Amino acid sequence: MIIARGRAEGWLKLPVSALPPWGELNDVTFNGISVGLLPGFEQRGSTVIAARDLSAGDAEPLMIIPRDLVLSQEAVRVHAKSDQHLRQVLDALAEFGRFLPEELLPTFWTETERKLLIGTTLKPAIEAKIKSLNKEFEQLRSTTKHIKWCEEVWWDEEDGRLSFDDWLQVDSMYRSRALEFPGIGDSMVPCVDMANHASGDATAALYEIDSDGNAALLLREGKELKKGDEVAITYGDKKGACEMLFSYGFVEDGMSSARELFLDLDIPNDDPLKRAKLHVNTSAPGFRVFDSEGADATAGSTGWQSDFVWLIVVNEEDGLEFEVAQTTDGGRELRVYWRGSALGEPDKLADLLKTHPIWNVYRLRAVSLIQDRIEGQLRMLYGTDDEVRTVPRREGAGIRERIWSLATRLRELERDLLERAYGNLEEEKEKLMETEAVQQYLAQQDPEEDFT
């Protein structure tokens, strides 16, 4: 475990007080800011702090980071053209890596701690991520084990230093600090990534590319900060509680709602078209629940979105058909049709259903299915609440207090959103049941079709 060993022995760890000399050596400009612990919030780690009173009228950026220090796909591609240049950029970035703290993302939680997440949308996300990282790590091993120095330094059975824990650490460093930088894309920007997240009006600064192509941190228009105030950026105001905890290891203090979450959906095993539907599906197999926004939204109202659900709720008797056709190159492909017309993009099925006279019937099927899935998720949360609430939290018990607090906070936020969504869906079901299309449809059907 190279990274863990380096942290423990000190050669992969530097105090934040060494950051200014590193910045000066690498032509990083700091203007009116410093990096350190914010008094009263030391548990958050280092952050960007105003070193003097700051006003948006100040002409100079708070930080300027040379483009060559920005770790992005573009930078790797350009520098990889020359090993010497790649060596130089990696040397500078490796030094900066010694300033980065260990991020306690959920991928580092113990198995006991991850059980606190049963019933949340984070648990399956973590399980899928760890599985994906294991696959990536094995791919790295298989593609580099025949390179002599990799074989000796990384993979030797006795002296090999690289482990899956290192791969987790690298993922954590990138995922918790990558920013979607304008003009560059997803990237790690030294020093700017020291700034903590705050949403809404609490966001004090923004980041962009200046006229020379360098990364710059700027005070937001209309903002004024006193000496000692935190200079916060936003990682994304619309990100939900699950995504924030998954990617950054925290839930924002002022977050009063989970904002959004994603639940998976299964096609029933007794659906004769299940295999065909899964084969042609191109959308995420589930649905998104979110807080409603906009002028028409009432307080606490929710919405949902899914392309996948429409494939589930219609079948052959409704007009959905599949056909194996021969392609121009002699191959074979599965094609999908709706009421005799080819459906080129299955995720556009909803657009066709909306034009049909019994659209409200299809909508009612979808609402009923989604409400049932939400009820199942709530049952999982309710069923583990007592155990989570009373679980021992002490040294040696296997559960850290901070982890317990994060897990219970996520549970509360997601439970609230799901309960509100369930109630909103019940109201929508009642309205749909009263529509003429649904009433006429039910009058013609066997009593087996149940929307309750």
Would 255 be classed as within a structural domain? no
Q: Is residue 253 part of a domain?
A: no
> Does one domain contain both 22 and 89?
yes
Q: What was the pLDDT predicted at 115?
A: 95
Rg from Cα positions in the chain: 26
**What's the pLDDT tens digit per position in 267-292?**
999 999 999 999 999 999 999 999 99
Same domain, 193 and 269: no
CA dist., res. 381 & res. 119, Å (int): 4
Same domain (yes/no): 241, 270: no
User: 174 with 188: CB under 8 angstroms?
Assistant: yes
Asked whether residue 243 falls in the same domain as residue 274, the answer is: no
The label of the residue with tokens 């659209």 reads 359
Q: Is residue 451 part of a domain?
A: no
275 lies in the same domain as 324: yes
Structural domain that includes position 418? 260-444
AA identity, residue 324? V
- Answer yes or no: do 32 and 173 share one domain: yes
pLDDT of residue 299: 80
Do 433 and 408 share a structural domain? yes
Whether 228 and 265 map to the same domain: the answer is: no
Q: Which of 248, 269, 303 is the last residue of a domain?
A: 248
367 and 237 in a single domain? The answer is no
Query: 305-348 pLDDT, tens per residue?
Result: 999 999 999 999 999 999 988 777 778 889 899 999 988 888 88
Last residue within a domain, chosen from 187, 214, 248 = 248
CA dihedral 235, 237, 243, 245 (to 10 degrees): 70
Asked whether residue 149 is assigned to any structural domain, the reply reads yes
CB neighbours of 264 closer than 8 A, spacing ≥ 6?
124, 285, 286
Residue 242 contacts residue 258 (beta carbons within 8 Å): yes
Determine the number of helices (DSSP H) and then strands (DSSP E) in the chain: 15, 17
Residues in the chain predicted with pLDDT less than 50, given as ranges, are: 85, 89
- Residue 450: inside a domain: no
How many other CB atoms are found less than 10 A from the CB of residue 42? 10
- CB–CB of 218/62 below 8 Å? yes
Degrees to nearest 5, angle at CA 39 with 35 and 44: 70
Backbone dihedral angles phi then psi of residue 138, each to the nearest 5 degrees: -70, -35
Query: Cα separation of 70 and 188, whole Å?
Result: 6
The whole-model pTM stands at 0.84
Handedness of CA 94, 100, 105, 108 (dihedral sign): positive
Mark whether 193 and 315 lie in a shared domain: no
Nearest CA to 195 out of 226, 230, 227 is that of 230
Tokens 């990282």 sit on residue: 133
Domain final residue pick, 216, 248, 280 = 248
Residue 226, in any domain of the structure:
yes
Q: Would you give the distance in Å from CA 206 to the centre of its chain?
A: 21
Element (H, E) at 319: none
pLDDT value of residue 333: 86
Domain count, the chain: 2
Domain membership of residue 452 (yes or no) is: no
Find the CATH number of the domain harbouring 69.
Answer: 3.90.1410.10
| CA–CA separation, 275 and 265 (whole Å) | 15
On whether both 182 and 268 belong to a single domain, the answer is no
Beta strand ranges found along 82-160 (DSSP E) = none
The token pair at 76 is 């790797």
SS3 category, 55: strand
pLDDT for position 384 = 96
Q: Which residues contact 447 (CB under 8 A, 6 or more apart)?
A: none
Burial class (CB in 10 A: 0-12, 13-18, 19+), 317: exposed
DSSP string, 176-213: HH-EEETTTEEEE-TTGGGSPB--GGG--EEEEE-TTS
Report d(CA 325, CA 334) in Å as an integer: 6
CA distance 265 to 368: 13
291 and 391 assigned to the same domain: yes
User: Is there a domain that residue 103 lies in?
Assistant: yes
3-state DSSP assignment of residue 450:
coil
